[in-house]
Chains A and B, each alone.
Chain A
Amino acid sequence: MYHMYDTPRSRREIVWVRKHAHPRYKDQSTMKETFLRSFDEYGDAIFRFCVVKTSDPILAEDLTQETFMRYWQALQAGKEMINTRSLLYTIANNLVIDWYRKAKPVSLDARMDEGLEPRAHDTMYADTYAQYQEVLRTMDGLDDVDKQVLLLRHVEGLGPKDIAEIVGESANVVSVRLNRATKRLQQQLRV
């Protein structure tokens, strides 16, 4: 929606704004473009992360959207974004944790209060959903921590240091976990 102050009004004002504006975000529209590009770039990765952590593709879509909304708010609050990707993972991780902590049976009312549209499973194409489920089944025997580190390491290609930052552990702990999780996955795949 158009906001009357998105465009400077007078010549004098234009000059003033150019002179004093924050160098990175000269105006809102560029900032929004950047934000939406970050969704195009990392949306899938965040979604995968959420699917793997929740085993619920529909919930994962919501969490993905929420993650990016929080990210936008952080941008608006004027935080300096050094590593967009790992910030997104961190937000998503916190959201998932919050979700687990919250009352397990998520009531429809509560979801509508949060502004999430109620969506039935049939809004997601049946074959897409089936495909998600099939992939999820291959990970059935693994615990959540294993799934998470495996995903971040092998699928997303993050290094132990980045993973450590996201999951809030030391790089050492992450390396050990990663090693064990890989072994367990291999065992399972062989069966």
Chain B
Amino acid sequence: MNDEQLHTYIEKVRSLSLSKDAHARIRGNLDSFAEYHSNSDPVRNLETGRSSRRVLQGAWGFHTFTRLISTHMMAAILIGLLCIGGGTSYAAEGSLPGDLLYPVKVNVNENIESALAVSNAAEARLQAKLVEERLVEAEELAARGTLDATASAELQSRIKAHYTEASEQSEQAKATGDFETSATVQASLEASLRTYAGILAGIDAHAEIKESTALIGDITGYADKAAQAQTTATTEVSANAKADVADTIAYAGTRISAVEATLSNAHDRIDADTYARIRARLDLAIAVHVKAEDALKASLYSDAYRDAQAAIRAAQEAEAMTKSSLRLQVGIDLTSGSVLQTTDTTIRSEGTVRSTTDEERSSTSDSKSEEGAGTSTTTTEDTEVQLNTNATVDVDAVGTKVDANAGANTRVKLGL
């Protein structure tokens, strides 16, 4: 037996010990662990096994409470309360007019967002987003069949406020030379407004309570105003820098890819028919976007600008349709027997094409004659034709047209 070697081995293993650091660290941890996990009442009456101090305390009070919960529990409770506090504002996000938390959403959450939007451009985009948010709420209420006069009036006034603010902010942005914001905000506003006007009209046609007529009228009116704002912006920008147009086109590009992502995520949850329509609209956006890029290369800024806006509109419409069809399917599943009877009900958003096409055409032909570019003539006209293909009704006639059809045709189409 080799005692020497065994002894060395033993010594070596014995040398395995916690390093000074580790020892200090673990000791510290154990110290606080022992502190926090102290039995808050170690002194027990040995005979009864019951807490001794409670007897002295007499009645239950806050002291009893603090003694029974240890400090770390107290901390956990506080954190919990904080989370619940934050949770209220989070929970409010999904609320609708008439809900308990809706005031929290519009008065607290959105004002915070607004306070965080520092520039005119950011504020304009936010207000445009809030217009869309109100439109979504209107759609949800309508789909549930609970869009009553009160909610409708509230949404009307809120949409008006947001729309006015968005226009003002984008005007101010434009005044400081930011044409890109102005154009993109107005273009996406117009698209959202038109899409939802169509959707609401579609739902309204089948609704028992028809309280949304005034609301739809308002929405269509704002859409027209937004279209008007774009045409003025279009003529103004022709004198302005190439950079603005390039920015607008770039924005259109990011919008398109964002919508593409949304749509591909939603692919499985949308019925094939609707998907194909949305896909077609998105393809149109891509095509127009390409044209805008070509026009920019050819220094046809006015055309490029207009096409970029058209691309943004188409992309925005595709997005609104995607989201809407996802929501409505869910809504239908949840509220069977509501105004929408079947999941294959799709909504025709009539008049997604701008009402100002005539003006635009004339301005387009003006610029074409100025530029004298023969090639771009065909391409822009193609665009216009594509945009017009499905515009079966005049925008102003949307509400009445769908109403008239309602009796005979229960199928509403999300139109392209």
Give chain A's interface residues, CB within 8 Å of chain B.
1, 3-5, 12-13, 16-17, 20-22, 25, 27-28, 31-32, 35-36, 39-40, 43-44, 47-48, 51-52, 61, 64-65, 68-69, 72-73, 76-78, 124-125, 128, 131-132, 135, 138-139, 151, 154-155, 182, 185-186, 189-190
Task: Decide if B19 is an interface residue (CB 8 Å cutoff).
Answer: yes
A65 to B28, CA, bound (A): 10
Q: Evaluate contact between B13 and A190: CB separation under 8 angstroms.
A: no
Q: Evaluate contact between A64 and B18: CB separation under 8 angstroms.
A: yes
A131 to B56, CA, bound (A): 57
Q: Evaluate contact between B10 and A4: CB separation under 8 angstroms.
A: no
List residues of chain B with CB within 8 A of the CB of A190.
2, 5
List residues of chain B with CB within 8 A of the CB of A132.
16
Q: Evaluate contact between B16 and A27: CB separation under 8 angstroms.
A: no
List residues of chain A with CB within 8 A of the CB of B39.
28, 76-78
A47 to B155, CA, bound (A): 67
A141 to B97, CA, bound (A): 73
Q: Mark B1-38, 1 if CB is under 8 A from A, else 0.
A: 11001100110111111110111001101110111111
**Min CB distance, A188 to chain B, in Å?**
9
A135 to B16, CA, bound (A): 8
Could you list 29 A-B pairs, sorted by A, with CB under 8 Å? Answer: A5-B53, A5-B63, A17-B43, A17-B52, A21-B43, A22-B44, A25-B42, A27-B42, A28-B38, A28-B42, A31-B42, A32-B38, A35-B30, A35-B34, A36-B27, A36-B31, A39-B26, A39-B27, A48-B17, A52-B13, A65-B30, A72-B34, A73-B37, A131-B15, A135-B13, A138-B9, A155-B14, A185-B9, A190-B5
A31 to B2, CA, bound (A): 45
Task: Decide if B88 is an interface residue (CB 8 Å cutoff).
Answer: no
A61 to B25, CA, bound (A): 10
A135 to B66, CA, bound (A): 50
Task: Decide if B67 is an interface residue (CB 8 Å cutoff).
Answer: yes
List residues of chain B with CB within 8 A of the CB of A28.
38-39, 42
Q: Evaluate contact between B5 and A43: CB separation under 8 angstroms.
A: no
A39 to B375, CA, bound (A): 87
Which of A12, A13, A27, A65 counts the most B-chain CB atoms under 10 A from its CB?
Answer: A65
7 closest pairs, A vs B, by CB?
A44-B17, A189-B5, A76-B39, A65-B26, A48-B16, A154-B10, A32-B34
Q: Mark B36-67, 1 if CB is under 8 A from A, else 0.
A: 11111111111000001100100000010011
Task: Decide if B335 is an interface residue (CB 8 Å cutoff).
Answer: no
A25 to B39, CA, bound (A): 12
Task: Decide if B343 is an interface residue (CB 8 Å cutoff).
Answer: no
Residue from B13, B23, B43, B56 within 8 A of A22 (CB atoms): B43
List residues of chain A with CB within 8 A of the CB of B19.
124-125, 128
Q: Evaluate contact between B38 and A76: CB separation under 8 angstroms.
A: yes
List residues of chain A with CB within 8 A of the CB of B23.
43-44
Residue from B21, B26, B34, B56 within 8 A of A16 (CB atoms): B56
List residues of chain B with CB within 8 A of the CB of A48.
13-14, 16-17
Given the interface pairs A3-B38, A28-B38, A186-B2, the reply to whether A20 lies near B45 with Cβ below 8 Å is yes
Residue from A22, A68, A76, A154 within 8 A of B30 (CB atoms): A68
Given the interface pairs A4-B66, A5-B67, A17-B52, the reply to whether A43 lies near B26 with Cβ below 8 Å is yes
A96 to B68, CA, bound (A): 33
Nearest B residue to A131, CB-CB: B15
Q: Evaluate contact between B27 and A40: CB separation under 8 angstroms.
A: yes
Given the interface pairs A40-B27, A64-B26, the reply to whether A72 lies near B42 with Cβ below 8 Å is no
Task: Decide if B71 is an interface residue (CB 8 Å cutoff).
Answer: yes
A77 to B39, CA, bound (A): 8
A170 to B6, CA, bound (A): 25
Given the interface pairs A185-B9, A189-B5, the reply to whether A22 lies near B14 with Cβ below 8 Å is no
List residues of chain A with CB within 8 A of the CB of B63.
4-5
A39 to B2, CA, bound (A): 34
A110 to B39, CA, bound (A): 27
Q: Evaluate contact between A32 and B35: CB separation under 8 angstroms.
A: yes
Q: Evaluate contact between A151 and B43: CB separation under 8 angstroms.
A: no
